[in-house]
Homo-oligomer: A and B are copies of this chain.
Amino acid sequence: MSQPSSATLPHYELLYHPGNPGRGEFIRLALEAAQVPYTDVSNSSKEGYALVQQTCMSPQNLSSSDGNPPVFAPPALRIPGGGGQSEGGGRALVIAQTPNILWYLGEKLEVLAPGGGEAGRYHVQQVVLTALDLNNEVHDTHHPVAVGKYYEEQREEALKKAQDVRETRIPKYLSYFDRVRQHNERDGGGKGTYLVGSKLSTADTTVWQVLDGLMFAFPKEMEARKKEFPELLGTFYGNVKEEGGLKEYLSSKRRLPYSMGVFRYYKELDRQ
């Protein structure tokens, strides 16, 4: 769990779709907060996305790359030399699934660990997983009945789904995240600023990204919710943006704008 100097860290490779924050953003935020070197493969070269498609999106593949098992869908993380001695030493490890990758980085990069030992790590991960569940529900507001079809083909169902997510699911999740924050303020070292423990963890970066995406997708809804959750949507949200590593990243070109990914703005799906 000790933090290696960046000279001894593997050079991480993020394998994800280009041009959108998407699920890759949860991993970018963790890497940027930890200030470790990585390559965002699809967004770094013209050939990058072909490599991602070959590794993570080929429906006949019996392996992703480097002898690792196949991947269902991006994002994946390629860790040169991460495959370990017991598996032939020094070959690359390729792992998929956003929460799996975030757990891996939390284990390897002490700067992302919340303190509190084992209990702290599992308490971070349960918040991460819950925030990613909300991320999935938000995706389904514009794709409620068919993942592979256009929004315009399921607009009627989307109106119903978005109403339910806005009126019942978002407040339920926001209440949970805020109660985690209050618990940590009362019992932990969070001072109301962090969700678990006394410093930034993937719980903070992951919840922050979902809140930021919600503010883009449902601006009226989220503006109205600020009265109920002033600390979560005000102080907490604002403080994460100022964290070392994240402040520079969020104003850089590496931070991609939202467009047609998980978080989309359709006026008719927001609070009217």
Which residues of A are in contact with B by a Cβ distance under 8 Å?
Answer: 59-63, 67-72, 82-87, 93, 95-97, 99-100, 103-104, 116-119, 122-123, 125-127, 129-130, 133, 136, 140, 144-149, 154, 157, 160-161, 164, 168-169, 172-173, 175-176, 179-180, 182-184, 186-187, 196
Residues from chain B with Cβ under 8 Å of A69 in the complex: 123, 126-127, 179-180, 183-184, 196
Contact A72 B176 (CB under 8 A): yes
A86 to B197, CA, bound (A): 13
A188 to B229, CA, bound (A): 50
A100 interface neighbour in B63, B129, B196, Cβ under 8 Å: B129
A157 to B183, CA, bound (A): 39
Residues from chain B with Cβ under 8 Å of A100 in the complex: 122, 125-126, 129
Residues from chain B with Cβ under 8 Å of A95 in the complex: 122-123, 126
A72 to B123, CA, bound (A): 12
A163 to B245, CA, bound (A): 45
Given contacts A126-B100, A179-B62, contact A119 B93 (CB under 8 A): yes
What residue of chain B has the Cβ atom nearest to residue A91's Cβ?
A: B119
A161 interface neighbour in B129, B144, B180, Cβ under 8 Å: B144
Given contacts A144-B145, A145-B164, A164-B148, contact A126 B71 (CB under 8 A): yes
Residues from chain B with Cβ under 8 Å of A144 in the complex: 144-145, 157, 161
A87 to B120, CA, bound (A): 9
Contact B126 A183 (CB under 8 A): no
A97, A147, A160, A161: which has the most chain B beta carbons within 10 Å?
Answer: A97
What residue of chain B has the Cβ atom nearest to residue A149's Cβ?
A: B164
Nearest-Cβ distance from residue A260 to partner chain B, whole angstroms? 19
A125 interface neighbour in B97, B130, B160, Cβ under 8 Å: B97
Nearest-Cβ distance from residue A67 to partner chain B, whole angstroms? 6
